[in-house]
Amino acid sequence: MHELIVEPEAEAELAEAIDWYEEQEPGLGAALLAEANGWNGCSICARR
């Protein structure tokens, strides 16, 4: 299995996208985060 490495810049961009989607419709940001956390079993933005 390959390890997924998420650079800080990419994590920041994802966090911005999550916030934007959440502003558009409550729950969409959370859905995006759930999808991102499902990639290869990684945990992105776990502190959010």
Per-residue model confidence (pLDDT) at position 12: 92
Per-residue model confidence (pLDDT) at position 20: 97
Q: Per-residue DSSP letters for 24-41?
A: HSTTHHHHHHHHHHHGGG
Tell me how far CA of residue 12 lies from CA of 1, 6, 16, 36, in angstroms: 25, 10, 6, 13
Distance CA 15, CA 37 (A): 12
Q: Is the pLDDT of residue 2 over 70?
A: no
Which 3 state secondary structure label does DSSP give 6? coil
Q: Per-residue pLDDT tens for 3-45?
A: 777 789 988 999 999 999 999 999 999 999 888 887 756 666 5
